[in-house]
Each structure stands twice: as structure tokens, then as C-alpha cells.
Structure 1
Amino acid sequence: MRRLIIVLATFAAGATGVGFTTHWLLTNEPDRNGVVVGATESIGGDGGRKAAVTGAKARPLDAPGLRRAVRAYVGQRPGKAGVMATDLRTGLSFGENEAGDFVSASVMKVDILASLLLQRQRERPGVGTGIGLSAGERELAGQMIRESDNSAADALYSKAGNSSGVEKSNKRLGLTDTTPYPMSWGSSWTSPADQVRLLTTLVSERSPLAAPGRGYVLGLMGSVLDEQAWGVSAAARPGEKVALKNGWTPVYHQGHGWAVNSVGRITGGGHDFLVAVCSGGSPTMEAGVATVEHVADQVVGALRAAGP
């Protein structure tokens, strides 16, 4: 696949609510029944840092304008999409269809690994600074995240207790929209908001997952194969660091077309973005990638423009 050099779009500032701490997401989005609701929702952490600015210092995010722009783009694309993004440095967040249901494909592999690490942490409290995985399991984890190897994911999903084991771990991780599928992990359902919750557990000192495990998962996500370094990386500027995991699969029994998803973290230049873009119903993988990358760039670009 490809890496893109990004031209970021700047959205006009408007009068919207600002000054969220890094612990809160602002939503004013349609729920699953199409009803527009407004609420604040804790995502449970700040990645060990305080927000760099407060409401008095940050320029406002034109959330309505951004929402219209995202909806206009997705509306003329095949299939559907949803996005959730937050900047831990400024506390600004944005979601569009962030609670929508999407087939997880291989982004589920991050959840599998986090669940297994959390289980080992509880089973072996004397592990100390280690991660509780055997050498063979570490090799499988590297193949699963860096190479997106499905056989490795099958093996680790089994070790994590398949759907029931991962579901129990997800309750501790604070996930609410992810439904692990029995045996076939790639058929699990998830949402962009839940993927950002999962990313938050990987960066927050308040996470139930200890620091060695968090660093281990992010390290693997930061070293995926070059041909898989697409997706949310399209929103990164030169010199910024990206840790990501992508998922893509044709869908036959849970819809049609391709499910193409990308989740990850972009750090540098005074920003720390957690981003998840999910899509479904694209006629080809390439079409899904284009949708995911454009939406990631569009939303992260707006959050950048609204920063200090």
C-alpha cells in the first residue's frame, strides 16, 4: 500500500464548546436510531500528560462545519464511514457516526493482544516489569500486529479465551461497543468510539493495563510493515510518529463490499492524536482506503487548526 504526504485542510473557527480536559469527549452526533444527542463521555485517561491548554487559551473548533464537511464527503462515497479523534494535548475531540457498528477485521488484533496481556497481568502478579508472554507468544504477537498475520491472531485469540475471554477483558478496559465474534475474531463488531477507548488504555497511566504491556503494544503498532502503514498515517505531518493497526476484509454475511478500518496514534508538533476511522460497504479495498485516509486527514486537520 502507500504512504501519503498530507495537505491539511483548515476549517473556519466557530463558536462551539471548547476547553475539554483530556479526560472527556464531546459528542453531538446521531445515535444508532438517527437521533441527535449531546453528551460528554469519559474516555478514562490522559496518556500521563496534562492538557496543554484550557478553554481560555484554545481557539474554538468549528464542530458543526467539520461535521457538515465529513458528512458531505462520506455522502458522495460508496458505503459508510465513522470517525472518532481526540488530541490529548489540547483536549479537543470530534466524532461523526462514532458509535456506528462496523465489522472489525484486523483492528481486532490490538484488542486481542491487550486482552491477553491484561489476563496474564492478573494471573501472574509477580511478573513485575515483564509482559507475561512466552517467547513463542511474543513472536506470534509480532506477527499478528506488525505483519497482520491471521494464523498468529487465531492462536492468540484462543489463548485469550476466544470471544468470552476477550469480552471479559473488554469490560475492564472500558469498551462498550465491541462484540467479539465466536472463533472468527475478524467478524467482531466495533465502533470508532470504542477503538479510541482502547487506544486510550494504551496511553493512560490510569489504564488497568500496566505500563510494560501498554508500551509493548504501542511499540508493535509503531513498527508495522511499510506496505501496511496506510490509513490514519495519512493525517501525519513529516517528522511525527505514528503507531497504527489497519483492518480490511471483504464482507459476505454481515453486509457487503469491503470493511476497511484504521486506528492509531499520531504524536509530535505539540499534538497527541488518537484516531479511529471505520468504513464498510466499499466496492473495493482501494476505495475503502481512500475513504479512511481522507476522513482521517480531514478531521485531524481541523483539530490541528483549532489547537493553540
Structure 2
Amino acid sequence: MADILKRDERVPEHLAGRRLDQTAAEMFPEFSRERLKGWIQQGELTIDGQKARPKDKVIGGERLALDTQLEEETRWEPQAIPLSIVFEDDDVMVIDKPAGLVVHPAAGNPDGTLLNALLHHHGALAAIPRAGIVHRLDKDTTGLMMVAKTLRAQTALVAQLQARTVSREYDAIVVGAMTAGGKVDAPIGRHPKDRQRQAVTESGKPAVTHYRVQERFRGHTHVRCRLETGRTHQIRVHLAHVRYPLIGDPVYGGRFKLPPGAGESLKTLLREFPRQALHAHKLRFEHPVSGAPIECKAPLPDDMFLLLDALREDQEAD
């Protein structure tokens, strides 16, 4: 039997002027835009109790009410893909995602994703939007992700993310020797010319990243980043914006550079590093049912561990 889904929330003032379907996607990010648009068209997602069109504009302060039956997603297949589970109970799980694993099926990646693996691990997730996934990591970013196992848990975790009470810390290895940590407070949105990229832009959404130096090398730095917001590619865009792009970043890394005097082994490792050097190492949140604090950590993956070792050896040899 399908779950009855009821949500009632007020449109934030900062979304004034947006289309209704865009506003709904911002307020209910656990659901796909296609699904939200369908609910609007069917009158199951209303604004101030009235049916509206997806393209209608909001003015801020209205009530968005969602009242629908949540049917199982049938287009995704369970697949026996190994999962590294850091924490799990009846309501939530935390997984340590490896590099190369896409989170959600999309054009070009119809299967073989984390979502397919979750459906195989726990079949009941077929009844939860996006199989319980509440936030994403890029394909080649490693580390911790929360997954809700019930609709109640998913609603609570999404609310924590929106309230910015979830603490997410990342390890990154960047090009350039930082002198100190800092904060990047710069809005992020679609790149004006390349729709596949994000960029710092005045028309973007607010985005804040805090970073601090963990270890400094001759031409690189190991930094720890804490997200205050969770925009697409946020750390990658923000660190590139302050001219410390991530090692191995194929999109935001800029022109490839080698530190002067680097040994051949380090040069080879830097040239061949297969991905952006970014790892979600710590996740802290409130349990969605009990309210108890949950903190999970994931050790550095082997490729970043070996890269740091090589940078230390190069530093000592200087």
C-alpha cells in the first residue's frame, strides 16, 4: 500500500519571483522536479489551497501544501553493488562512497549507481523518494553520505540540511601553498556560458565554505573544509575561486602545474591522479527519530593517503 504524503510549508521570501515548479524543487529537494511538476499539474501540490500551473510565479509567504499517495519508483532496478556502511539502524544509514560511483541514475548513467545498490540492500527504499538519498556527492568525490530508510526520517534529515544543522567536513588537497585558512562567502549558480559547470555569480544562491590548513607543502596544501551551505560543486568552485583549485579536478582545476624541483615520482603521481582530491571525512547530525547526536568518520581513501605521503617526501627532500 502506498504511503500518504502530506507536507505544508510557507514559501520563503527569498524565493519571491520564482516559478512554482522551481520553488517546489527548492523547498522539497528530496523529490525530482519531474515528480513535483506532475503533482502541481494534478492539483496534489497547491499554493494557498488553490491549484496552479508550474510556470506561475510565487510572491513569498504563500503556503505550499502537498497531499498525495507516494507510489513506488518502478523504473530503478536493485543491483548487487557493494556498500561500505559506517552506521545503520531502522531509520537511517551512513555510507562511505567510493570514487567512481554515481549517486543517482541519469542520462549516461542509467544504472550501476548508489541508488541501485541501496535498493538491493534494503528493498523497502523503493517506496522512499530517491531511495532515501537526501544529499549527494560528485561521482569522483569519496566519503560519507546520509540515507533515510523511512519517509519520516527523510523529511527530518532534509529539514536539518535546510536549517544548516548538519555538520559536513571534507579533506581536500589543493594546488598552491596557503598561508592561512579562511572563509569563502560567494554565491554559486550555473556558469553563464557552460551549463555543465557552476560558477561564482551574483545571480547564484548563497554559499559559504570555511577552510583551514592541515598541512602545507612546497606547492600544495592539505585543507579541511566545512560546509555552511550545500551547493552543487561548492568546495570545488569556491577553492578555485580563491585560486587554490583541487588537485586532479578536471572541471575547475585550471592549467596543470608542477612545483619547481619536484621529483619524478611526485610528478608522475600528480599527472596521473585520477580525480579531484576531495573526501567527505566527517558527518554529524541529529538522529531523525530519537534526536540523539550521530557522528561518523571515514578515513582518507588510499589514493589521497598516498598523495599526501608523496608530498611529504618531496617536502623533506627539498
Structure with higher Rg: it is: 2
Higher strand share: 2
| TM-score calculated relative to the size of structure 2 | 0.23
Higher helix share: 1
| TM-score calculated relative to the size of structure 1 | 0.24
Higher relative contact order (CA 8 A, sep 6+): 1
